[in-house]
Structure formats: C-alpha cells, structure tokens
Amino acid sequence: MATAAKSAEEQIEDGWHPARLIPTTGIGGQDEQEERATSSLLAVMSAVPDFGRALLKHLDAPAGRISTYSEVRFKDEDLKVSIPDGGIVVERGKMRWRCLVEVKTADAALRPEQVSTYLDLARSHGIEAILTISNQITSSPEESPLAIDPRKTKRVKLRHLSWWHILTEAIEQHRHRGITDPEQAWILGELIAYLDNERSGASGLNDLGDKWVAVRDGARAGTLRAADAGVREVAARWEQFVQHLALGLRQDLGRDVMPLWPKKLDVAGRRDAIVRQVAETGHLQATVKVPDAIAPVNIDIDLRSRLVTTSVEVAAPRDGRAKTRITWLLRQLRDAPPTLRVDVSYPLVKETTSGLLKSALEKPDALLWAADPKREPRSFRIALSREMGTKRGKGQGSFVAESKKQVVEFYRLVVQQLKPWTAAPPKLPSPPEISEPVASPRPPDFTAEDTREPGEGLEPSEAPVSGG
C-alpha cells in the first residue's frame, strides 16, 4: 500500500534530533567528559534504585536508600585538598555506608598514586570502600587494574567496574529484568543511550593496544619471544577482550555469561600462561560459558595463519548404532553454516574422522570409523574458522569487531540450536494379555435316567463300534 507524502513540517523535522536527558553534544574535553559521565551515572543510581543496587552489590554494600554526590572534598593532615570524582552513601536505619568514586573516560588510565591517596583518606574518615571506573576491563570487580599496596586495602575495600560492565548492568536491568516504574525505566534508557555513544568516552574496549600490530606480526613470522616489548600488554588486553565478549553476550541474553580461566592460576599466573602460549605457539585462546548452553564456547586466535576459530565440544549419545548417533547431531545442524567442520572422536583411538557440514549432510557414512564402522562415537567437535580482522579500532574489518561478530554468530547459528542427548526413561514390560476363561464342560448327570439309544448324541468318533 502506498504511503502518504510527508507534509512540509514532517520533512523539516526529519533532520531534528530527539532531546536527550543526558546529551553528548557540547562535550569540550577530557575533564568535562569525565564530569558529565560521573554526574550522569551517580544521578541515575540514585533515581533508579534497582540499578544502583545492582552496581553496589559488587562492593558488598547493604540495601538501603542511595544518595550520590559529585566532586566531594577532603583535607588531609597537611590541609591539602583532595577531590574524588564522587561519593555514594547508603542509609538503612541508623546505619550509613559510604564509598568514594574515581572515574576515567576514553583512553585515560587510573593513576595508582591518586587511588592510593583516596584509600588513605577513606581509612582516616571511616569510609568503607573505593570504587574506580574506567574503560579498563577486569575479570571481576575484585580485580583492580592497578598495583596497590595490599596493606591499604585491609580496612577499605577497593573495587573496579569498567564502563562496559556498567552499561551491561544497565541493559540487563532495563531489557531483561524490567523496571516497573515507567519514569525510572525512561531515565535508565537515557543513561544507556548516553553511555553507548562514542562521545561519552564510556564505550568499552577499542582494540588490543598500540603494541598489538607488532606482536601479531612477530607471532606470524615466528620471531616473537615472551620477553619482547608489548607481549604482556597484549596478553592483558586479550583478557579484557574476552571479558568484553562475555559482557556483550550477557547484554543480549540477560544471563551471567562468564569466561572460564584456569582456576589454579591467579591473575599474574594467568597472564604468564597467555604470554608463553602466544610466544611459543602463536595462539590466543579462551573459553566462554553461557548458562544452560550445551557446552562452553572455545575461541582460538591463530596469529600465524590469521584464522579465528570458534568451536564447541558435544558428547555423543550413549544409545543407538554408530550412524544413528552421528545423524542425531547432523539433524540439529541442518540450518547451520555449511562451512562448519565436524570432527568425530572415538574411544581407544587418537585419530578422528572429519568433514565439512555440507558433505557430512550428504554422506553421513564418511564420518564413521573406517576400520570399524560399527564403533560408536564418543564426542563431536563443531568448529567454524574465518579470517581474522586486521585493522585496529573496533570498526568493520578490525580484529575486535570481526572476532566479536564471529562469536555472536556462532552462538546464534550453532550453539543455541543444539540440545544435549538425554536417555529415554526405562520402560516396564508390557502387562500380559488377560484372556477370557474357558468354560469347563458340564459334567454328566448320572442321577438322571439316560433314555438315549446307544450311540445317540455322540460324535462319530465317540460312537461305540459294534463287533462283527
């Protein structure tokens, strides 16, 4: 149906921009960017208590009425004035919990000496916590991007939230949990629009740092060494990127998507392991777990071949013939990308059978174990490989954008379509058929006088045979 032509007034309004509660226009520089981001965030934390509590739970703050302040002032013993970017007070009855906030935007990094000073101020004034906020992404709020003397954090908690984490909490609260008050929902939506704008300086991870290209090219050439400049920085950025991916999936799914790092390693040990791996093999690897998905998603960046591979390991069914177990998987992948690779593992042998999904759908027998086609498969590996983005930044063709796109598409087209095999419940045997009882012949009445002639009423076979 044709649409009516726009009026002259509507044509003029096409170029108008909606008024925003928190505008990004007119931001004059780094200082103003930080001031506006801090004030906007703290104001919304107070105006939308559910969102404020979702953030403050990471600081172990009690539930209560939230009050927020910007540019709070303190004087130390030498009368030197310190001005943290903000302050938070939670009141519950007679109890008051307080926290100081230090904020950085864009590429600005937190300064250890500044945060150390605020920890001293908090300790001397009985303040319970310090919250730092920047675009530096950590694996958890308990992990600070700064090296701080642990003695300073014995009495005062130090917590860190990235802007990407804060945006994730806002989206999850707004889109998935829901805000019952419509005005609060609108206010939170305005904060999301502000933080999601590039000009806010709170837009998350841009790339893997200025050392990324040198490390990437060194790994491809096979000349990279663990001690080379920038390797450790890229390892730290890789961890941030994986956390960035997990939080992005959490925004879309509304579930706690988490990276799976080796539990036995602390932050330093984990960083050392990444440095060794990229220097020795040219690979960056990680695993992301989505609640209730069939299995965690594995991510492998091969810097030497410049391929990004996303994969998932699926246990094979424990019932049925070998081919039946393979077709169980293939049926679930009918609409998946035909370039998927399917690897089948078998017990007691190291080798696997492999094939592209397109070929496997046409000829499932090719995935059977050739030496013993009846051998039941143990597990399946489903993998998708694509060329790695090479540009810096996070636009089209960049490493960040293309890798993130592949992980999201792999989850959408493959992982979320797969259901784990479940055994059928054991069945009781069928009950025996109950037939109608056969009537017993009526016994003869020997008391009555038998008036029949000999042989009358008997079958021919029963009639007496007369002698000759």
260-312 tens-digit pLDDT:
998 888 888 999 999 999 999 999 999 999 999 999 999 999 999 999 999 99
Whole-structure pTM value: 0.81
CB contact set of 229 (below 8 Å; sequence gap of 6+) = 211, 214
Does residue 58 register a pLDDT over 50? yes
| Residue reference for tokens 């003695």 | 151
Instruction: Retrieve residue 371's tokens.
Output: 């030496």
Looking at the structure of the chain, the number of domains it has is 1
Determine contact, residues 385/302, Cβ cutoff 8 Å.
no
Which pLDDT band, with edges at 50, 70 and 90, does 345 fall under?
very high
| Residue reference for tokens 């590996």 | 381
Determine contact, residues 106/135, Cβ cutoff 8 Å.
yes
| Residue reference for tokens 């493959």 | 414
* Residue 64 covered by a domain: yes
The CB-side HSE value for 217 (13 A sphere, CA atoms) comes to 7
* Residue 71 covered by a domain: yes
* Residue 383 covered by a domain: no
Does residue 382 register a pLDDT over 80? yes
Helix (H, G, I), strand (E, B) or coil at 18: coil
* Residue 236 region by backbone torsions, left for phi larger than 0, else alpha for psi between -120 and 50, else beta: alpha
pLDDT of residue 2: 45
Domain span at 196: 23-200
pLDDT of residue 72: 87
Does residue 467 register a pLDDT over 50? no
* Residue 42 covered by a domain: yes
* Residue 249 covered by a domain: no
Which pLDDT band, with edges at 50, 70 and 90, does 251 fall under?
very high
* Residue 238 covered by a domain: no
Does residue 465 register a pLDDT over 50? no
* Residue 310 covered by a domain: no
pLDDT of residue 105: 93
Alpha helices in 7-81, H assignment, sequence order = 8-13, 30-47, 49-56
Does residue 3 register a pLDDT over 70? no
Helix, strand counts (H, E) of the chain? 12, 14
Alpha carbon distances (Å) from 221 to 202, 301, 304 = 35, 15, 7
CB contact set of 13 (below 8 Å; sequence gap of 6+) = none
Instruction: Write the single-letter amino acid at 461.
Output: S
Range in 67-71, 280-284, 432-436 the model is least confident about: 432-436
Looking at every residue in the chain, the average pLDDT score rounds to: 88
pLDDT of residue 436: 64
Query: Among residues of the chain, what percentage have pLDDT more than 70?
Result: 88
Does residue 451 register a pLDDT over 70? no
User: What DSSP element (H or E) covers 378?
Assistant: none
Q: What is the DSSP letter of 172?
A: I
Alpha carbon distances (Å) from 466 to 310, 452, 455, 461 = 99, 17, 10, 13
In the chain, what is the straight-line distance between the N-terminal and C-terminal CA atoms, in Å?
111
Higher pLDDT, 392 or 304: 304
Query: Among residues of the chain, what percentage have pLDDT more than 90?
Result: 70
* Residue 59 covered by a domain: yes
What is the per-residue pLDDT across 127-186, written as a single tens digit (0 to 9) for each? 999 999 999 999 899 999 999 999 999 999 999 999 999 999 999 999 898 888 999 999
Phi then psi dihedrals of residue 82, to 5 deg: -115, 140
Cα dihedral across residues 388, 389, 391, 392: positive or negative? negative
